[in-house]
Amino acid sequence: MARGIVVAVVMVVAIMLYSVFDCAARPRDRIAALPKWGWILVILLLPVIGAALWFLVGRRRADGGFGGGRKATGPSAPDDDPDFLQRIADDVEQQQRRERRERGEFD
């Protein structure tokens, strides 16, 4: 029985510490609803409930997830990036010119 209580207390402290450090290290634009200091107070004053609220409500994902409003910027894959595709097209064109030059055909 006592061992179970010790394990539970250690788990609550670990979750609380992780939540506080996660909140403190997170950029302000990725925190929803309250300022950083407000979330840290909630986590410290209500250990289990505060940590649960932090993970469910306070954290904003980089892709604009919960509490978002921000959209992910930039291409999501290389083939969605017009600059990348242009570089590939330029490389192919340059290779074709090189091959024509080697065969004796000139531009």
Q: Is residue 72 part of a domain?
A: no
Same domain, 46 and 94: no
What share of the chain has pLDDT > 90, as a percent? 50
Contacts of 35 (CB under 8 A, 6+ apart): 28
- Tell me if 59 is assigned to some domain: yes
* Distance, CA of 82 to chain centre: 23
Degrees (nearest 5) of the Cα angle 9, 11, 12?
Answer: 65
pLDDT per residue rounded down to tens, the chain (107 residues): 889 999 999 999 999 999 999 999 999 888 888 999 999 999 999 989 999 999 999 987 666 555 444 455 666 777 777 888 889 999 999 999 999 888 887 65
The pLDDT assigned to 73 comes to 66
Does residue 25 sit in the same domain as residue 58?
yes
Cα 72 to Cα 36, 94, 106: the distances in Å are 22, 34, 46
Residue 10's pLDDT is 95
- Are 31 and 4 within one domain? yes
Whether residues 2 and 48 fall in one domain: yes
Same domain, 46 and 25: yes
Q: What is the pLDDT of residues 66-83, one digit of tens each?
A: 544 445 566 677 777 788
Pair (35, 58) in one structural domain:
yes
pLDDT at 64: 58
Structure tokens belonging to residue 89 = 């097209």
Res 14: pLDDT: 95
Indicate whether 37 belongs to any domain: yes
Q: Give residue 50's domain range.
A: 1-67
Query: Do 11 and 61 fall into the same domain?
Result: yes
Q: What is the pLDDT of residue 69?
A: 46
Q: Do both 43 and 81 map to the same domain?
A: no
